[in-house]
């Protein structure tokens, strides 16, 4: 490659972003399903796993397509597709969910 910026494919960048989001959501769905399975076998309430699964499904249905379009439009306009708010918000949300599930497990074990 000669460093020409016209080589950048806006659809390719958007596609890679959408695929990364989909991989993350599939992983989160798997974690939610495992939490539900563990909750049922250990006789804990399955609500945390169901919540994780529902939020992941919501993200899959609504956010991935919107993010694909936004990244594509941004790259075609010659700007960076990095989001100043979405990545930190997703990180804070994920950490919050993990802490809430951990706290629920600790509370359940404490009451045994």
Query: Is 98 a residue whose pLDDT tops 80?
Result: yes
Task: Give the pLDDT score at 7.
Answer: 56
- What pLDDT, on a 0 to 100 scale, did the predictor assign at position 8? 61
What pLDDT does 1 receive?
45
The sign one gets for the Cα dihedral 77, 79, 81, 86 is negative
Q: What is the pTM for the complete model shown?
A: 0.54
- 12-16, 71-75, 89-93, 108-112 — most confident range: 89-93
- Please report the sign of the dihedral spanned by the C-alpha atoms of residue 37, residue 38, residue 44, residue 50: negative
Q: Is the distance from CB of 83 to CB of 63 less than 8 angstroms?
A: no
Q: What pLDDT digit, counting tens, does each position of 20-69 carry?
A: 878 888 888 888 888 888 888 888 888 877 887 888 788 777 877 777 77
pLDDT digits 0-9 by tens, 57-82: 887 778 777 777 777 787 777 777 66
Task: Give the pLDDT of residue 59.
Answer: 76
Read out DSSP for 32-94?
Answer: HHHHHHHHHHTT---HHHHHHHHHHHHIIIIIHHHHHHHHHHHHHTTS----TTHHHHHHHHH
């Amino acid at each position: 490659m000669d460093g020409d910026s016209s080589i950048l494919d806006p659809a390719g960048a958007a596609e890679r972003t959408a695929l990364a989001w989909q991989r993350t959501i599939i992983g989160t769905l798997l974690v939610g399903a495992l939490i539900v399975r563990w909750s049922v076998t250990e006789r804990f309430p399955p609500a945390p796993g169901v919540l994780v699964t529902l939020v992941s499904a919501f993200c899959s249905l609504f956010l991935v397509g919107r993010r694909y379009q936004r990244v594509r439009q941004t790259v075609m306009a010659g700007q960076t597709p990095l989001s100043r708010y979405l990545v930190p918000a997703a990180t804070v949300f994920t950490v919050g969910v993990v802490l809430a599930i951990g706290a629920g497990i600790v509370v359940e074990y404490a009451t045994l």
